Chain A
Amino acid sequence: EADIYQTPRYLVIGTGKKITLECSQTMGHDKMYWYQQDPGMELHLIHYSYGVNSTEKGDLSSESTVSRIRTEHFPLTLESARPSHTSQYLCASSVFGLGTYEQYFGPGTRLTVT
């Protein structure tokens, strides 16, 4: 079954640690995204990718970085975690083409930085 996966689901980590949030999809989608969501708020786009070796910053400024070495894999890294990074991080993917396509989301990673 085609799907989109995120690990870990929950992460509690101390200030200053380096973390990588994993995202993989089996749908063969070219376009992938990272959104950040605080409780009761809208999702904000922080990174996206059109395909392998393509990474772009989204609408919301973020200190995180991303990479896209394989089509199915789009990890997000924070070099030095801070309490202000506490949030939910959602990965999504979609078909890339001339039209507009639905985005499909993973289950999210809830990050808490102490």
Chain B
Amino acid sequence: DQQVKQNSPSLSVQEGRISILNCDYTNSMFDYFLWYKKYPAEGPTFLISISSIKDKNEDGRFTVFLNKSAKHLSLHIVPSQPGDSAVYFCAASGGGADGLTFGKGTHLIIQP
């Protein structure tokens, strides 16, 4: 029973355009959400997070939006750059779990 779902295994976006990565969750007790970026053969790198009491958090080119009623969050990357090509993981904290609960990831490919 997956509690964090990333339904798009891959996403292709042109350089300079907006990349939107989506994530849905089922556990209403999650209180903190994070996005990680992962290159092959490396560990995940923390990108941006959002508390459940907020609906938006921005850091440079990255913005995360949270819709609690829909149990949905999204990561926006504007403008997309070639170095953004990687696997992006959505993760959630809380809900009775001791660590983070991860989705399966979305492979973002930035086309030149």
* Residue contact A42 to B98, C-beta cutoff 8 Å: no
- In the complex, how many residues of chain A place their beta carbon closer than 8 angstroms to a beta carbon of chain B? 26
Measured in the bound complex, the distance between the Cα atoms of B103 and A114 in whole Å is 29
Considering only CB atoms, which chain B residue lies closest to A104 in the complex?
A: B46
Q: How large is the interface on B (under 10, 10 to 19, 20 to 34, 35 or more residues)?
A: 20 to 34
* Residue contact B44 to A45, C-beta cutoff 8 Å: no
User: B45 in the interface, Cβ–Cβ < 8 Å?
Assistant: yes
Please give, as numbers and ranges, the residues of chain A lying within 8 Å of B98 by CB-CB distance.
45, 48, 56, 58-59
User: A102 in the interface, Cβ–Cβ < 8 Å?
Assistant: yes
Please give, as numbers and ranges, the residues of chain B lying within 8 Å of A110 by CB-CB distance.
41
CB interface residues, B 92-112, toward A, < 8 Å: 93-94, 97-105
* Residue contact A40 to B104, C-beta cutoff 8 Å: yes
* Residue contact A90 to B44, C-beta cutoff 8 Å: yes
Measured in the bound complex, the distance between the Cα atoms of B46 and A106 in whole Å is 11
The residues of A with any CB-CB pair to B shorter than 8 Å are: 4, 6, 9, 33, 35, 40-45, 48, 56, 58-59, 90, 92, 100, 102-108, 110
